[in-house]
A and B are shown apart, each in its own frame.
Chain A
Amino acid sequence: MTEFLLANKLAAVGIGIVGILAISAILSPWLAPYDPSRQQLEERLSGPSWQHPFGNDDLGRDILSRVLLGARVSMRVGATVVLLSVLVGVLVGGFAAYVGGKIDAFVTAIVINSLMAFPGILLAIALVAFLGPGLDRLIFAQTSIGWVGYARLARGQVLKVKTFEFVEAARALGASSLRVFFHHVIPSIIQPVLVQASVGMAVAILWEASLSFLGLGITPPTPSWGAMLNDARNHLFDAPHMVFFPSIALVVTVLSFNFLGDALRDWLDPKSQ
């Protein structure tokens, strides 16, 4: 790992920022200088100052506190969606490839290909449009689509790995099919899944922000970077600072996960450079 980080400065930056973000997200209720929902109407739309380094929004709420709490929401949604998607995707795609035959044909042709035929974010918008906004529905909608990418990846990897000699050897030693699958096949496909999960965090955070920006994700008063940008667009003329800070937070977060994903991919597959 140290060798990887020394060789990939961008990955080191990515991991550093992701680490800081994760700590800020966990500690945000204590780090935030003000209650993120407290409205101070006399300070509405005021720009950055010593008391409020990021300024105040249209309801006079402290933007720094809201950006900090927004990190918590983003990381929580991102991590939950990626974790659930990896779990479902690897199990469904991996198992289909491992078993083969009609089950694989069904999972690939009907489930994976059909869901891939839809632009992911469109399906997410459609799901939350009908389910209604809210954290759990947002996570459900994103996971319903997110797992498909991991299933396709896992399927491809398992098709390759299951022909390897160590799998044959495990079978020959009398290991049950399930044992071979969980103890030998799955551990050997973890690396590419990790690369995809890193980029997947960036995508999940972006989708959460996109849906919240459209008013379909996190509901007020919970702070979310996307929802903050939605509020900000009505005040581009009189309070441009409302756009800057949530934008910077979002872009830096997504960029860090992308740095990490790119570096991991290059490290594991030098041909891709």
Chain B
Amino acid sequence: MISFVLRRLALTVPVVFIVVTLVFSLIHLVPGDPVAQMLGEGAAAGQIEQMRHDFGLDRPVLVQYGLYLRGLLHGDLGNSFRNQQPVLTSVLGRYPATMELAVAGAIISILLAIPFGVIAAIRKGKAPDKVVGLISLLGVSLPNFVLGPLLILLFSITLGWLPVSGRGNFLSLVLPAVTLGGGLAAVTTRMVRGSMLEEIHQDYVRTAKAKGLSERVVIFRHALRNGLIPVITILGLQMGVLLAGAIITESIFSWPGLGLLTIQAINARDYPLVQGCILTIAITYILINLITDLLYSVVDPRIRYD
């Protein structure tokens, strides 16, 4: 087990390094001078030059890269172009709101996907399977920037049950979490169905049935436990989609998380802040994948020997 964990950790290091390098390179993709872009057309040449110097942008690229890496190792993501505040402070301030939303979205997707996926599998080819299949395909095709406004129209404007935007009590979490988790629920339902279909044809399930156990016990106590193993991986991979989807969802509901901060930073052309947000989301995604892999090896020990 320890060697598997170490091997998996060793594989993560180069990926993190490449992601960091990619994020660093982003600022050099800006057409023209990023500082001039941020300050706008009216900026004086002296002001641009001073700011370029302050942010180290007048140094050779390799020196900038070295300083960037050194900063990261010391937990320094640089300073905002706009208010010169440390990027890390802004990012950490918004991080809990995004994680709250992502976790709520993941919970909603699991709560929807398991029952629907199981029903579709045990009624394969029949009406419930076809209905679940159609709804999940619709869910995959319904982006959160369509679902979000439609939910606001129905539950906030027409029925007046839930707040339109912002982060306050539990009720304010419902619409953003459903918006974010809806698409994931559709993907996970299909995964649960496929995985359950494989399991219910296994010998141990036939044995359990032959022993005279009820269908409910066979499905939920035997088949589902094994059927959920591959679903863990999909959920881990989909957390990345969820985190990226948070950028759109947060901007629809003015949810004060990392996603909204990213969009605000992009609009303000505050490039160091954009880099900090993107890097934080990407590293979170890599860590979630790492945890998923480790969890997977605990749930299914055969993985470690691959």
Contacts and interface: CB of A to CB of B under 8 A. Distances in A.
Interface of A: 109-110, 113-114, 117-123, 125-127, 129-132, 202, 206, 209-210, 213-216, 226, 229-230, 232-233, 236-237, 240, 243, 247, 250-251, 254-255, 258-259, 262, 272
Q: Is the interface of B mostly helix, strand, loop or mixed?
A: helix
Interface string B262-295: 1100110001001000100110011001000000
Interface in B22-63: 22-23, 26-27, 29-31
Contact of B27 (A130, A132, A209): A130
B31 A132 contact: yes
B141 A131 contact: no
A130 B29 contact: yes
B78 interface: no
Contacts of B153: 236, 240, 243
A251 B252 CA distance: 18
Contacts of A130: 26-27, 29-30, 271, 274
B143 interface: yes
B174 interface: no
A250 B145 CA distance: 11
Contacts of A120: 244
A130 B22 CA distance: 12
Contacts, number: 125
A214 B144 CA distance: 12
Contact of B285 (A118, A209, A210): A118
Given A214-B251, A250-B146, A122 B243 contact: yes
A122 B274 contact: no
A216 B141 contact: no
B186 to A, nearest CB: 10
Contacts of B137: 255, 258-259, 262
24 contacts: A114-B14, A118-B282, A119-B240, A119-B243, A119-B281, A120-B244, A122-B240, A122-B244, A122-B247, A122-B281, A125-B262, A126-B274, A130-B27, A130-B29, A131-B29, A132-B30, A214-B263, A216-B266, A229-B149, A243-B149, A247-B146, A250-B143, A254-B141, A272-B194
